[in-house]
Amino acid sequence: MTIATDKPVLFVDVDGVISLFGFAPGGDFPGAFHSVDGILHCIATDCGERLRRLEEHFELVWATGWEEKANEYLPLILELPFKELPSLTFGEQAVFGSAHWKLEAIEQYAGTRAAAWIDDNLDERCERWAAERDAPTLLVRTEPATGMSDEHVEQLLQWAEEHRRRA
């Protein structure tokens, strides 16, 4: 269920946005490794700070195959000031290498609100959904080896400010 707020919603993927993969072996890692249900994840450095900045301007919602696991691990790992965020559930819809399987849950949660979505696997179906929405919509793509950057945060904050001025 959507939280009552005037803020636009920001759907946040985890793998490829916060949990990084595909980076070159050797040298410095782009984050620290943490065990999540026995699987090591490289959690991006400074991602907690980036989410804290975004939380001031967006309603953050986990939009990840991790589903409720995101709340079990990430607020603590990222040192977030909140213990949990709303989390979408997808059932058995996950399709590796794409994000369009998230659309039904995202559409239902967003409703008529302005929405942004940060993900490493946005595809043409996601783009078509964003273009056809009546509400302002922004898609932000990340690279799975680097995840969410300061540039992505600035893009999102600028978009949220433009939306606030128009509203």
- Tell me the pLDDT tens digit for each residue of 138-155: 999 999 999 999 999 999
Q: What is the pLDDT of residue 4?
A: 52
- Which residue's structure tokens are 């977030």? 80
Say which CATH topology domain 9-166 has. Answer: Rossmann fold (3.40.50)
Which of 49, 10, 74, 26 lies closest to 149, judged by CA? 49
Residue 113 has which token pair? Answer: 């609100």
**Angle separating helix axes 103-110 and 124-132, nearest 10 degrees:** 20
Q: Indicate left, alpha or beta for 67 from its phi (over 0: left) and psi (-120 to 50: alpha).
A: left
Report d(CA 86, CA 59) in Å as an integer.
9
Is residue 93's pLDDT more than 90?
no
User: Can you give the residue ranges of every domain in the chain?
Assistant: 9-166
User: 61-90: per-residue pLDDT in tens?
Assistant: 999 999 999 999 999 999 999 999 999 998
Is residue 1's pLDDT more than 50?
no
